[in-house]
Structures are given as C-alpha cells and as structure tokens.
Amino acid sequence: MEIPQGKTREEIKAREKIIKDFYAGWIANNPSKSVWNKSLNAPIRVKGISINETYEHAARSYESTMEVLRLTEILSEAKIGSIGPHKTDDKNQKSFSKVLVMRHNNARLIVGYQPSLGDYVQYSITCTSSNILNNRKKSPQRKRQKK
C-alpha cells in the first residue's frame, strides 16, 4: 500500500481512506475493540469517535498516518504524559471526565476516560516528531488562521 506524502486535498482524502480502511480491518481482527495498556493497567477501547477524530487529524500528515498503522503497539505501550479535564468547548469530548495525553516514541495518543462505563477510549493518534511540528509552524495555512 502506497501512502501519499503530499499536502494536497486529494492526498489528504486518500490518507483518510487509508486510515478508515485500516480501522475496519483492525476491528475485524480485534473483536473486543480494545488493547491492554501497560501504563494504565487497563484496556483502551476503540470506538467510533476514535476513528473519526483520528482520521480527521492524522490524515493531515503522512507521518501521522504512518503512526496510526502502529495502532496496537501504541495502544499497548503508550505511557501517560499528562492528565487534565476535557475541552469544554469540544462536543466530542463531553462524555469524558478527563483526558490523558500519552506518548510512545513519536506517537501522541489522546485517551478520554468515560466514567459512566469505566472505559478508557482512544480519542486520536498523531505524530509528534520535531520535524512535523516545525513544518506545521511554517505552514501558510497556520499563518492565515492566526490573522
């Protein structure tokens, strides 16, 4: 499978499809839709919100798309970096009582805790390598958004 590396709309759409297809296959191979995380000592579940948030964010860069393809490893091995409240202005995070930022190598895993179910839920996965962050800071789209 070849993953487009550019920033065009078509390449981002192609990466979105790759991520969605990957999750479909992953769920077919993992009927429990969860992976035990060593740091939390609890399973992290993959739900619809996991797929939607991840493809919307990770598809923006080739490197983040590549991180998603390491889903099982990241869910299992990520370590807690910080814990905080959910974003009050984000309707997708309202079911979470807290949000954990976890890291594994260059992957940034956001996990929400749903107290009503006692579930840790994968929210999104992106790449955190310094090159990616530097490229984002220089992006003309970012500059336009700041104005």
Output the pTM of the full model: 0.81
The answer as to whether 31 is a domain residue is: yes
* CA 65 to each of CA 2, 61, 112: distance values in angstroms, whole numbers, following the listed order: 12, 6, 21
The answer as to whether 35 is a domain residue is: yes
The answer as to whether 3 is a domain residue is: no
The answer as to whether 4 is a domain residue is: no
Average the pLDDT over each of 10-14, 126-130, 136-140 and give the range with the smallest value.
136-140
Residue carrying structure tokens 């984002």: 136
Task: Please state the domain count of the chain.
Answer: 1
The answer as to whether 64 is a domain residue is: yes
The answer as to whether 111 is a domain residue is: yes
The answer as to whether 1 is a domain residue is: no
**Enclosing domain of residue 140:** 9-146
* Radius of gyration for the chain, computed over Cα atoms and rounded to the nearest angstrom: 15
By CB neighbour count within 10 A (0-12 exposed, 13-18 middle, 19+ buried), where does 53 fall?
A: buried
The answer as to whether 2 is a domain residue is: no
Q: What pLDDT, on the 0 to 100 scale, is given for residue 87?
A: 78
